[in-house]
Structure 1
Amino acid sequence: MARFVKEIMSPAVVALRPDASLVEAAQLMRAQDVGDVLVAQDGVLLGVITDRDIALRAVAEGLDPLTVSCQSVCTPDPVCVGPEEEITTAQRLMRDHAVRRLPVVDGRGTVGVVTIGDVVQDRDPDSALAHISRATPDL
């Protein structure tokens, strides 16, 4: 029986405005215990910024995370999935586009995020990745 993205996604959408600094993004990621933040303005999804984006596209380049905006290092126009799509569709999109997270979007806007960890926990809850995804991070 098919299962759907809405059954495994995180409905909590963590978002920042495009002009927010990378420090604000990192602090929000820490506070919310997530590895990505959506970049949005007036309810419109502009991009996704990950902890890896901050590290590789900004810090490793010597940019000042206090002055660099989220929009300048985020992945614009992210690949998205609908909540009524089958989990296998999300899995295929992640594989085809080499992404670990997908914003979940419906006619009202962004309603959640589904991660590779969510997919793995659903498909193989005893796998190493599923256990890692459930683990409390060391901060």
Structure 2
Amino acid sequence: MACKLSKILTESVASLDSDTDIQTTAAYMAERELGSLVVTENSEVVGLFTERDLLKRVVGAGRDANALKLGEVCTRNLISASYDSSCTYAIKLMRRHRCRRLLVYRNDNLQGVINMADVAHALADHSSAKNLLVNFVGGITLVVVLAVIGMLISHIPDMMQLADRTLK
């Protein structure tokens, strides 16, 4: 079974309206321990705001967090993937677009946001499950081979007697 984005989406999507000031946004994100949130206008997704946006576009730029609106500093050229996409496809998409997060849609409905770490962990877990199966089958094969060798060794005295009688 392939690693799918639908399997790793676990939480609801946090969002704020684009006219929310950055000070309120930062407090909201800190209180809920969020690394990102979806930015909306009239209930439509228009952007994504991340901790990185806060550092680069607000704090690092020396802008006033009380006077600045979320819609002014959020990332707007969003990359998305389908709910039933594979984890491998998601990683390739993030690498191609040099982004760390993807919006995941099912039909036209936003289902969640995943980040590169979520996908990497899911791929590692998926790989571990495959390795476990391979190790199990390999272990059973080794036990069977050792049993056959043991059986052959236990019959050496009988084979020696047969060879001795045949050569006389």
User: TM-score, normalising length from structure 2?
Assistant: 0.69
Q: Which runs of 5+ in 2 are unaligned?
A: 126-168
Does the aligned pair in 2 maintain the 1:43–1:109 contact within 8 Å? Answer: no
The Cα of 1:101 is off from its aligned counterpart by 1.1
CA shift, 1:105, in A, is 1.7
Residue 22 (structure 1) shift: 1.1
> 1:25: which partner in 2?
25
Tell me, which stretches of 5 or more residues in structure 1 are unaligned? 126-139
Moved over 2 A (4+): 106-109
Distance in 2 (alpha carbons) for counterparts of 1:77 and 1:97:
10
Cα separation, 1, equivalents of 2:10 and 2:45: 17
Retained in 2: the 8 A contact 1:11–1:111? Answer: no
| Count of residue pairs the alignment pairs up | 125
> Greater RCO between the two (CA within 8 Å, min separation 6)?
1
CA distance in 2 between partners of 1:48 and 1:81 (Å):
15
Q: Provide the C-alpha distance between the structure 2 equivalents of 1:69 and 1:106, rounded to a whole number of angstroms.
A: 29
Deviation, structure 1 residue 57: 0.7
SS at match of 1:55: helix
Higher helix share: 2
Cα offset, 1:17, TM superposition: 0.3
Aligned equivalent of 2:88: 88
- Report the alpha carbon displacement of residue 52 of structure 1 after superposing the two structures with TM: 1.0
Q: Structure 2 CA distance, aligned partners of 1:8 and 1:58?
A: 31
1:107 aligns with 2:115: no
Q: Is the 8 A contact 2:39 2:48 kept in 1?
A: yes
Higher Cα radius of gyration: 2
